[in-house]
Amino acid sequence: MFAVVLFCIACFAYWCWCRQRAKTAEPPSLPGAWPLVGHLPLFLGDGCKIWNQINYASDHSYDVGGAVKINLGPVTIYFITDPDDCNTIATTCMEKDPVYDVTKPWFGESLFTSRYEVWKNDYKLLSPAFSQIILNTFMDVFNSESRKLVKEFDKHAGKGPFDYFTSLRHNALNVICMTALGVGFTDSNLASDYLHAADSILNTVVERFIKFWWHSPYTFTWSRLKKEQDSYLKILHKMSDAVLQKRKSELFGNTCVEKNIAPGIKFKPFVDILLELSVEKGAFNDRQIREQVDFMLAAGHETTPNALLFTMVLLGSHPDVQEKVFSEIQEVLGEDKDVDKMDLSKLQYLEAVVKESLRIFTVAPAIARRLERDVQLKNYTLLSGQHCFLLLCGLHKHPIWGPDRYEFKPERWFEPSKLPGNLMYAPFGLGRRHCIGKTYAMMSMKTTLAHVVRSYRIKADHTKMRLKYLGTLKPDNDAYYISIEKRT
Ligand code: HEM
């Protein structure tokens, strides 16, 4: 009898040990690793290949407890898709992962890249520039620039598929300059050069991260990539310098007109807050101001145009949804009225379309956090010092969304009981360091879509689109082109 009891105790102790070991184990490795180089061969290649591998890792992680590990040579990266684990990391790890360092030649210590200690202070100073009361004053710009876009589209109406992405990007660049950066920008050659340089530098940034031997500044200095990056940086900085110079001469030359947004409250663009804080309190030096402007320019043109592109393709591929959007716009706005802040809250179906589009095509598919200590997740332990990516795209396609998770169904947003919960939807990031431009982006995208859908019937086929990952999600072939017909 004593032997049986002893045996049971031993079995129980072994079971506890196994459970504990599983919990303290790192996430399992993604299948397909090679000796020494690990998963490098899977990721070496263009942005399409990287995007396919991110999806492969994401799908695999669902089957193994919401986390997988990949190795690029000696570099270990965790991909996390479990919603609770993503939340744990986003709320407890406040430092950005060292992967953001590869963008520092461009963005320096901007809000996006800065250390938590610096971020806390800067965020407090700069976040008022994105308060609702300020954003409401941008409605005129959102409307007038949307009307310009509609006019620009006019020459393509009834003439078959056309590339509207370039127009969307130019438009977004104008909008960010005229709102957060407070200047009307007219140099279209510089804008074109800027957009080309921004695309190219993102290619070099992603390539550097994959090719781990260029992580070190010492090896990178001698690389072809460094030379390429330096030439793009010159153009990118030329743009931010031009914006700053223009705004400074307006602001300090007293030619600037401050808008009254309410009795006694003036509308101050983001850049004015930066410049005034630097003059009055010495809070930012010239380099720091330029870095914040550099990121604002990038965030403004690198995100909303992509999201609009995908939304227009989805609308063109789902005529029934498009007609519902059109009816709602007719009901709320009538024939030709500008969109105002009250209208935005009434355009509920359009809002659901944009949310669903960001779920299907998650423009910022991943964010990353630095692991400064071991982090205990539900099933695994992440080891301090490794890279950690939270796959927002993985959250959005998680089986919890149901068997129709790959389908574009804006209606799902009207059935809260069937939605899987807040943690499953995070196109603008998670935790305290989520997107400061979220409301700005939603307001500007809804305004643009209202003007475009009111004017044109869109046709497209999203199934033929190939996608690539270059920090953000982008189309890789011309299958994203849409055709438009004028609505009578
Ligand atoms: C569809 C549009 C957009 C998407 C999907 C998006 C997504 C994101 C995400 C996921 C982050 C978090 C990054 C991280 O955790 O590392 C972020 C941060 C940020 N975004 Fe956006 N964004 C969008 C539009 C914008 C716009 C229009 C602006 C500026 C006007 C902007 C400004 C920023 C800034 C400044 C940060 C850094 C915030 C901080 O760390 O405090 N974003 N964005």
How does pLDDT run across 181-204, given as a tens digit for each residue?
988 877 788 999 999 999 999 999
Mutational test site, ligand 1, from 138, 141, 177, 303, max ligand atoms within 8 Å of CB: 303
Cα of 237 vs centre of ligand 1, distance in Å, is 20
3-state secondary structure of 256: coil
pLDDT, greater one: 252 or 71? 71
DSSP structure string for 10-46: HHHHHHHHHHHHHHHSPPPBPTTPBTTTBTHHHH-S-
Assess if residue 244 is contained within a domain. yes
Nearest ligand 1 atom to the CA of 433 is 40
* Phi (first) and psi of residue 312, to 5 degrees: -65, -40
pLDDT of residue 282: 85
Give the pLDDT confidence score for residue 373 in this predicted structure: 95
User: Among candidates 64, 4, 74, which has minimal Cα distance to 30?
Assistant: 64
Residue 149 lies in a domain: yes
Is residue 217 in some structural domain?
yes
Q: The domain that contains 110 carries what CATH number?
A: 1.10.630.10
pLDDT band at 257 (very low <50, low <70, confident <90, very high): low
pLDDT in the model for residue 279: 87
pLDDT of residue 251: 79
Mean pLDDT of the chain: 92
- In tens, the pLDDT along 410-426 reads 999 999 988 998 899 99
Grouping H, G, I as helix, E, B as strand and the rest as coil, residue 355 is: helix
pLDDT digits over 64-88, tens only?
Answer: 999 999 999 999 999 999 999 999 9
CA–centroid distance, 428 to ligand 1, in Å, is 6
Q: Inform me whether the pLDDT recorded for 268 exceeds 90.
A: no
* Minimum CA distance residue for ligand 1 atom 19: 435
Give the ligand 1 atom nearest the CA of 369: 16
Q: Does 310 have pLDDT greater than 90?
A: yes
* Number of domains, the chain: 1
pLDDT of residue 264 exceeding 90: no
Say if residue 290's pLDDT is above 60: yes
Band of the pLDDT at 15, cuts 50, 70, 90? low
- Summarised one tens digit per residue, pLDDT across range 171-182 is 999 999 999 998
Residue 120 has pLDDT above 80, yes or no: yes
Would you state the pLDDT for residue 418?
A: 85
Mean pLDDT of 111-129: 94
Higher pLDDT, 262 or 281: 281
Domain of residue 471: give its range: 27-486
**pLDDT-based confidence at residue 12 (cuts at 50, 70, 90):** low
Checking 41-45 for CB contacts under 8 A at 24+ apart, the result is 42/70, 43/70, 43/72, 43/210, 44/210, 44/211
CA of 298 to the centre of ligand 1 (A): 10
Predicted pLDDT of residue 71 = 96
> How high is the pLDDT of residue 6?
72
Atom of ligand 1 nearest to the CA of 430: 15
Proportion of the chain above pLDDT 90, given as a percent: 81
User: Which residue reads 């939605």 in tokens?
Assistant: 419
Which atom of ligand 1 is nearest to 300's Cα? 27
Compute, in angstroms, the gap from residue 363 CA to the centroid of ligand 1: 10
Residue nearest to atom 30 of ligand 1 (CA): 437
Token pair 């956090």 in the structure block, residue: 369
Binding residue per annotation — 393? no
Identify which of 369, 435, 438, 445 to mutate to test ligand 1's pocket (most ligand atoms within 8 A of the CB). Answer: 435
pLDDT(19) > 70 = no
Predicted local distance difference test score (pLDDT) of residue 409: 98
Kindly give the number of the ligand 1 atom that is closest to the alpha carbon of 176: 30
Q: Looking at per-residue confidence, does 22 or 252 come out higher?
A: 252
Q: Could you identify the atom of ligand 1 that is nearest to the CA of residue 426?
A: 10
- Tell me which of 112-126, 185-199, 350-364 is least confident: 185-199
Q: In angstroms, what is the span from residue 441 Cα to ligand 1's centroid?
A: 9
Q: Which residue has the higher pLDDT, 267 or 410?
A: 410
CA atoms within 13 A on the CB side of 167: 20
The confidence score (pLDDT) of residue 269 equals 84
pLDDT of residue 254: 61
- Determine the pLDDT at residue 261: 47
Any domain includes 20: no
Angle at 26 between CA 22 and CA 27, to 5 degrees: 90
Cα 436 to averaged position of ligand 1 atoms, centre (Å)? 6
Q: Nearest residue CA, atom 26 of ligand 1?
A: 437
Task: Tell me which residues have their CB closer than 6 angstroms to ligand 1.
Answer: 96, 111-112, 123, 176, 180, 295-296, 299-300, 303-304, 307, 363-364, 367, 427-429, 433-437, 440-441
Distance 302 CA to ligand 1 centre (A): 10
**Is 391 a residue whose pLDDT tops 60?**
yes
Is residue 19 a part of any domain in this protein? no
pLDDT given for residue 17 in this prediction = 52
Work out which ligand 1 atom sits closest to the CA atom of 100.
16
Helix, strand, coil % in the chain, rounded to nearest 5:
60, 10, 30
**Which residue from 31, 33, 167, 80 is spatially nearest to 368, judged by alpha carbons?**
80
Measured by CA distance, the residue closest to atom 6 of ligand 1 is 428
The position carrying tokens 């431009």 is 437
Nearest CA to ligand 1 atom 42: 437
398 lies in some domain: yes
Give me the pLDDT at residue 405, please.
96
Is the model's pLDDT at 16 over the cut of 70?
no
The whole-number average pLDDT for the span 119-139 is 94
Q: How far is the CA of 19 from the centre of ligand 1 (A)?
A: 39
Confidence label for 455 from pLDDT (cuts 50, 70 and 90): very high
How many A from CA of 213 to the centre of ligand 1? 29
Nearest residue (CA) to ligand 1, atom 31: 437
Q: Determine, yes or no, domain membership for 240.
A: yes
User: Residue 1 domain-assigned?
Assistant: no
Closest CA to 444 of 112, 126, 146: 146
